Structure 1
Amino acid sequence: MPSLISSLVRFRRDPRLLKLPPYLSLLCILVGVASLLVLPLNSYSRRTYISENALLPGQVHTYFGGSDQNVFRAYKHEVNALLGQSNKAINDHLEPILAAGGLKVGRQNYTYRSAGETYEGENLYAILQAPRGDATEALVLVSPWLSIHDVPNPHGVALQLALARYFRRWSLWSKDIIFLFPPDSLTGPQAWVDAYHDSHDGRYVSALPRKSGALQGAIALDYTKADPADDEGNGSSRFTAVHIVYDGVNGQLPNLDLINSVVNIAGGQMGTGVSLQDMWRHNDGYADRLRTMLRGMLRQGLGAATGAHSAFMAYHVDAITLQPYTATAVTPEGNLVISGWQHDEMAMGRILEGTFRSLNNLLEHLHQSFFFYLLMSRERFVSIGTYLPSAMLLAANYTIMAIALWVRSGQAVPKPDAAVVAAKTGAADKKGKAVEPPASTTATSSGAEERDLFLPLAVVALCQALGVVPLYLFNHVPAWLLTPVFAVFALVNTVLPHLISRALTNYYRATVQQYDLIKSFSLLLLGMFLSSLATLNFSLAFLVGLLASPLTFMQPAPRSPGSRLLATLLLNHISPLAVLVACCLWWQLDISEALRLAAFGWDVWGMYTAVVLWCVWWPAWLVGSVVVLGRPAMVPVPKKK
């Protein structure tokens, strides 16, 4: 045993041990990416199933149809006549219709300000009191006047009016049903749900005059796919499939049982197609599964609202948006044809009826199924226990390098040869013999060297604090100034690493140990932030961890100007600003519009993606750039007397 302990101690001090961490970090990155790419395989994914037996989706007979179709057509005529009118004029027309059906009607005004612009409107909602309930629980059906793409939604509004009249005739409801008509999909639902939970700012958002019980679920209807044969509202808007949108703000997801229930009702009972993540054609192969999963990760990583349902997620209310559409297929001749059986609005109403009948059966809030998952098709998913190690491995690679740099910074620097020092500095005695520099006062008896922590901590703290500047600017500058401010910040972003590096070189004479400590502290913070973020928003943590992975291997570049320039250019290509510009080019989005939407998400939805971008990723990149441009000072030697 003593010999084993002594061998381990000698192995711990072996300098070859410090050569392993870079390879371990690279292995963590490769394994993390590979473990994500194998998830679409059957061996790593699972089939979806209903965990809450009380839901019983598809087990009831739906009756919406027949004479209700004439009611829907009448409502559609009235709604189409309101196109182009103001928000208040529309609510003035719809309120008597809801009140005549025996519903309790309420209206709510709100005003939001973001990026120098004002967003105001008025929500209209009606409450159907459950005949068999005590007003302690409620379900919500939302039909915004404008969809997420600012397209009018008259079919959805008319269908919701018809369903409100239809639901009023049934005595089987044990939960109240709230019919919400917001003016849009971005601000109206957020103002309403904030006021419903008394977490609104009374200066800008009015309180609700009427309330019901705790919200158990919400379904939003985005019915903007009109039939070309629809002549003045006399025809019908037909569809062949339903697109389910389920992503919430900051990557929040509804309970998987809610999605599975709609898939069971729409795809099984009603015989319509079901799609996810804009995958209009899905053959359930590996490529389509992977594409669906990556699209879901990208939406989750952005953290923006994807529909009227997203506002409910922050209050643990499970919600989704249903979008009927017409699926198409490509013939061998290259022609597009309609794929699947065409359904009318009555079929969509029966899908909503079956969904609300299932949610009405709940005895408690949805809790048995998964809240953290990645969907690869409507019947295939992976849970958090399977995909979380991918992000954790990416975060671990930063921690491994941070620990290795900390250990290396504590090792004693080899003492330079006396003759070499004398030749370089001219230090010699009167007889011409070289004078050996005195031993360092910071070296310990064990061969370790005391760490100089003040400068590295100050540099890392400065870079972290600078992240508040772009976070404040891009969330408070008016929209018309966002583009010039971004251009100025991009210029500063290019020059700032050179200024910090020059200060460290010329004024503070930073040593190799101090550069190691600067990089160590920065990577340690990055690994800690990403590992914590992975449990809240896996996709955002994985994407940032993957894009920032080159920072793990950044070292002070050689003194050759060409090598330093090449390393700087490579690092600038993976900067947060470069990635932001590349994403805008990919989506054909103006940079000012992207920044305006980010500021809107910060002010209205409470989206924290900007915090991760400017206060986590950008400071780490800034430190990495300073390290690459660094010129560590030589080992200090005594001056000539």
Structure 2
Amino acid sequence: MAENDEPVKPQPRPIIRIGLFLMSHSLLVSLVCCTAGIIALLLLPVLAKNTYISENALIPGSASPMLSNIDVSEASRFVDKLLSIDSSSVSIDSSSVSIGIEIRRLMAEHISALGAEVNYHKFRSQLNRFHPLQFFASPDPGNIQENFSCSSYAINTVGIIRAPRGDGKEAIVLVTPYNSVKITTGEALSLGIGYSVFSLLTRVTWLAKDIIWLASDSQHGEYAAVAAWLREYHTPSFGGLGKLPSEICHEPSNLSDWKTDAVVETRISDTIRRAGTMAAALVIKVADSSSDFEKDSLSIYAEASNGQMPNLDLVNIVNYLAVHGQGLRVKVEKMQSFLNSWWLRGLGGLFESLGKLARSLNPQWSFGISIADYVEGCATLASSLYNQALGVPTGPHGAFRDYQVDALTMEISRQLSQTYGNRQNEFLMQGGRLVEGIIRSVNNLLEKFHQSFFLYLLTSSNRFVSVGVYMIAFALLVAPLPMVAASLFSDASKLNPVEDQPMAGHVEKPVIKFGSWKWLHAAKTVFIVHFWGALMILVPYFYSHIPKSSAVTSLSIWITLSVISLLLLHLNLGSSGISNSQPQRTEWAYLKSVTIAAAFIGLCLMSVINFATAEIGALLLVPMCLMAVPLRLKVRTLRTSLQIVCYLVLTFLGFPPVAFYVLKGALNGFDNISIGEFWTWMEALWEWSSATYVYICLVHLPCWVLCILTLLHPC
């Protein structure tokens, strides 16, 4: 080899060359990925699949219903007694407590007469308060009111059937909420459906799981009653609430005082009784208002806290038995404003035309959807995303998901009829056989629900989008973030090289190069802003100890404290201003690079906790972070003017209160918006320990502040 020949440098690996190529074309890649992510999100109703039963053991509808006319007649008389107790008690005694006592006594007598176990569960009303250290932890036990009275107590009635073919290790729970202060016709009918099914299950021989019927006293809220019973069921307290204080309560304080029948008394317990591990739970409700459809309808509510959903098989068997077994019209919640959206109809027409074109090329291609189905699918998908992102349960079934029990709420609406009283038996038969079929299917399971999906979005009652499909849209939206961050860091490092030339007359010595540490100043700024966001999470905790004020006042105080605390941190812990060690033209690039990296990490972590929140957050946060550059006000051209307008619009829309008001106005109209609604919405988030509140304060708001710093950075 010749002396002048230089060694050939090895070529980088293909993955490195691909990464360098993407970094060098980060602007084009970002535009393509964000556009593709939005298109993929709009395509979800088209890509939705029909629901199906994954667990073969469920076999819904395989057995003939056993609920007879005798059971229905007994349930109908039970409903009439409940309503007569309510009306007679109001005319004789104005005290609402006596109504609740008579209703509980009637239920206990009927349950005990069936041969089942009965017990009462007494609990106090509790206040939801913000606990900053209990996010993502075990269910919050709540705060018991210190100045309690008799009205703060409520009593659940619980009946248990021991399965003749079971070993007592598993149970199915039926929940029928009712207000003991003023029971409505719908609540009485839901109790009647529960009683008809319960009376049937006391006689069957095929039952392999214990049955628990929880008649929850919802005078302090449906969720609170179920959650209190579940806390006692899983974490029993000794000593309990045996009697109410006699000096302030004049009604019978001891539960045993209500037992007048000797036979009934032997079966009723004041202490909570337990069955096996809960395999599934079903909340049965009857709407007081009638439906506008030609037949009875069934609404399914499945969303629980922080976007948790029950196993899709449970939703599928309810939908299958309701439609094919009882002829009900099954509904899921929709965004009503989407149903009249002209641009969704335009997209639906485009997808319908593409589907016809695809089928003309190849009849086996099933791509395409009608305009009506697409609009309805988008409305249902938007509602499913919103309810999951909100993180607040849509019904009392959410209390079961906190204990990893699959549960949902069924709300049955009666059709409009002038002579509905003649249809009471028919309605009880229809609802009872539906519940019977669901229990029979769950009873067949040898293990918990696990075959089907836990992560999914509904586009209709019988169509869904699985996690493997809807994650594509999120992945495309966040994919540009690491590439742009790496590209900005690389470009800033090239523009600010390290001075490492030896001085003349000195012997060259090995030195340590600190060029790679120049991003630490930007990282310090990002850390300070995110630390400020963590402090903002704690502000509602102090508000909870202050007497109630108006929502507008609270929001104003919160914004003022946020600005003052940010300025104090900026002055005491560090400055985001110009560093003398590096040029202005590279400092903002480092700041933007670290900001984008922090946004990418926050969105990815949030997608694991609550995907819907991460998806909606990515739609707002990714464009704002990618387009944030220092404003060049001195250069006045058409291009720079358009850039400034786009930056300001994105930054304005990215501010959480503004984004809330714009989205709420777009969905429900701007006429009904008040300034304090954002604070009310935030209160609901932290009272329910929603992870969305943590995301807003810890990820979205700090990144918005950092984008503002980038926009105002001198260059």
How far apart are 1:545 and its partner, in Å?
Answer: 0.6
Superposed, 1:418-429 pairs within 5 Å as none
1:265 corresponds in structure 2 to: 321
1:214 corresponds in structure 2 to: 277
Name the CA distance, whole Å, in 2 between partners of 1:93 and 1:591. Answer: 48
Name the CA distance, whole Å, in 1 between partners of 2:654 and 2:557. Answer: 19
| 2:332 is aligned with 1:276 | yes
SS in 2 for 1:321: strand
Contact 1:391 1:545 in 2 (8 A): yes
| 2:98 is aligned with 1:35 | no
Kindly, what percent of the aligned residue pairs are identical?
A: 24
Taking a change above 3 Å as real, the CA distance of residues 447 and 476 of structure 1, as seen in their structure-2 partners, is: closer
SS in 2 for 1:141: strand
2:28 corresponds in structure 1 to: 23
Name the CA distance, whole Å, in 1 between partners of 2:81 and 2:65. Answer: 26
| 2:49 is aligned with 1:46 | yes
Name the CA distance, whole Å, in 2 between partners of 1:208 and 1:461. Answer: 52
Name the CA distance, whole Å, in 2 between partners of 1:205 and 1:489. Answer: 43
Taking a change above 3 Å as real, the CA distance of residues 107 and 17 of structure 1, as seen in their structure-2 partners, is: closer
Which of 104-113 and 118-127 deviates more?
A: 118-127
Superposed, 1:368-379 pairs within 5 Å as 368-379=451-462
Measured against aligned partners, the alpha-carbon deviations of 1:29-53 in whole angstroms (never above 9, x if no partner) come to 1111211222222xx3322211111
Contact 1:143 1:221 in 2 (8 A): yes
SS in 2 for 1:315: coil
Which residue of the other structure, out of 508, 518, 530, is the alignment partner of 1:452?
518
Name the CA distance, whole Å, in 1 between partners of 2:683 and 2:428. Answer: 37
2:227 corresponds in structure 1 to: 190
Measured against aligned partners, the alpha-carbon deviations of 1:528-555 in whole angstroms (never above 9, x if no partner) come to 2222322342211110011112222101
Name the CA distance, whole Å, in 1 between partners of 2:477 and 2:497. Answer: 34
SS in 2 for 1:505: coil
Q: 1:290 is matched by which residue type in structure 2?
A: C
How far apart are 1:505 and its partner, in Å?
Answer: 3.4
Taking a change above 3 Å as real, the CA distance of residues 46 and 395 of structure 1, as seen in their structure-2 partners, is: same
1:577 corresponds in structure 2 to: 657
SS in 2 for 1:212: coil
Measured against aligned partners, the alpha-carbon deviations of 1:77-101 in whole angstroms (never above 9, x if no partner) come to 3333448835964545543443343
Taking a change above 3 Å as real, the CA distance of residues 606 and 99 of structure 1, as seen in their structure-2 partners, is: farther
Unpaired runs of at least 5, structure 2: 1-5, 91-95, 131-142, 146-151, 244-269, 340-369, 499-503, 505-509
Name the CA distance, whole Å, in 1 between partners of 2:539 and 2:441. Answer: 47
Contact 1:115 1:477 in 2 (8 A): no
| 2:595 is aligned with 1:522 | yes
Taking a change above 3 Å as real, the CA distance of residues 34 and 226 of structure 1, as seen in their structure-2 partners, is: closer
Which residue of the other structure, out of 534, 553, 563, is the alignment partner of 1:484?
553
| 2:210 is aligned with 1:176 | yes
2:361 corresponds in structure 1 to: none
Taking a change above 3 Å as real, the CA distance of residues 546 and 556 of structure 1, as seen in their structure-2 partners, is: same
Taking a change above 3 Å as real, the CA distance of residues 181 and 607 of structure 1, as seen in their structure-2 partners, is: farther
Measured against aligned partners, the alpha-carbon deviations of 1:542-571 in whole angstroms (never above 9, x if no partner) come to 100111122221011124599799545651
Which residue of the other structure, out of 59, 65, 89, is the alignment partner of 1:62?
65
1:128 corresponds in structure 2 to: 161
Q: 1:50 is matched by which residue type in structure 2?
A: I
Q: 1:98 is matched by which residue type in structure 2?
A: I
How far apart are 1:575 and its partner, in Å?
Answer: 0.8
How far apart are 1:142 and its partner, in Å?
Answer: 0.9
Name the CA distance, whole Å, in 2 between partners of 1:19 and 1:200. Answer: 64
1:113 corresponds in structure 2 to: 127
Superposed, 1:202-601 pairs within 5 Å as 209-226=272-289, 240-278=296-334, 285-326=373-414, 344-413=427-496, 449-478=515-544, 479-490=548-559, 504-505=576-577, 511-549=584-622, 550-560=624-634, 567-568=647-648, 570-585=650-665, 586-587=667-668, 588=672, 592=676, 595-596=679-680, 598-600=682-684
1:103 corresponds in structure 2 to: 117
Name the CA distance, whole Å, in 2 between partners of 1:58 and 1:623. Answer: 57
Name the CA distance, whole Å, in 1 between partners of 2:127 and 2:580. Answer: 46
How far apart are 1:615 and its partner, in Å?
Answer: 1.0
Contact 1:156 1:224 in 2 (8 A): no
Q: 2:112 is matched by which residue type in structure 1?
A: A
SS in 1 for 2:654: coil
Name the CA distance, whole Å, in 2 between partners of 1:17 and 1:267. Answer: 51
Name the CA distance, whole Å, in 2 between partners of 1:628 and 1:622. Answer: 10
2:267 corresponds in structure 1 to: none
Measured against aligned partners, the alpha-carbon deviations of 1:312-370 in whole angstroms (never above 9, x if no partner) come to 11222111111112579xxxxxxxxx9xx996222011101111111111111111111
Contact 2:290 2:414 in 1 (8 A): no
Contact 1:238 1:344 in 2 (8 A): no
Contact 1:497 1:625 in 2 (8 A): no
Name the CA distance, whole Å, in 2 between partners of 1:105 and 1:506. Answer: 71
SS in 2 for 1:263: helix
Name the CA distance, whole Å, in 1 between partners of 2:239 and 2:653. Answer: 45
2:193 corresponds in structure 1 to: 159
How far apart are 1:408 and its partner, in Å?
Answer: 2.2
Taking a change above 3 Å as real, the CA distance of residues 517 and 414 of structure 1, as seen in their structure-2 partners, is: closer
Measured against aligned partners, the alpha-carbon deviations of 1:142-199 in whole angstroms (never above 9, x if no partner) come to 111269xx98733212322333233223232111111112213222222222333329
Taking a change above 3 Å as real, the CA distance of residues 576 and 600 of structure 1, as seen in their structure-2 partners, is: closer
Name the CA distance, whole Å, in 2 between partners of 1:570 and 1:114. Answer: 35
Contact 2:176 2:215 in 1 (8 A): yes
Contact 1:474 1:482 in 2 (8 A): no
Contact 1:75 1:158 in 2 (8 A): yes
How far apart are 1:485 and its partner, in Å?
Answer: 2.1
Measured against aligned partners, the alpha-carbon deviations of 1:91-137 in whole angstroms (never above 9, x if no partner) come to 45543443343323231314422359978553332212112212100
Contact 1:143 1:220 in 2 (8 A): yes
How far apart are 1:573 and its partner, in Å?
Answer: 2.6
Measured against aligned partners, the alpha-carbon deviations of 1:238-284 in whole angstroms (never above 9, x if no partner) come to 95221111111111111111111111111112222212224899997
Name the CA distance, whole Å, in 1 between partners of 2:707 and 2:678. Answer: 26
Taking a change above 3 Å as real, the CA distance of residues 608 and 68 of structure 1, as seen in their structure-2 partners, is: same
1:616 corresponds in structure 2 to: 699
Taking a change above 3 Å as real, the CA distance of residues 305 and 107 of structure 1, as seen in their structure-2 partners, is: same
Contact 2:76 2:428 in 1 (8 A): no
Name the CA distance, whole Å, in 2 between partners of 1:458 and 1:484. Answer: 33
Taking a change above 3 Å as real, the CA distance of residues 410 and 475 of structure 1, as seen in their structure-2 partners, is: same
Q: Would you say how many aligned residue pairs link Structure 1 and Structure 2?
A: 580
SS in 2 for 1:352: helix
How far apart are 1:73 and its partner, in Å?
Answer: 2.5
Name the CA distance, whole Å, in 1 between partners of 2:556 and 2:478. Answer: 31
Contact 2:118 2:160 in 1 (8 A): yes
SS in 2 for 1:624: helix
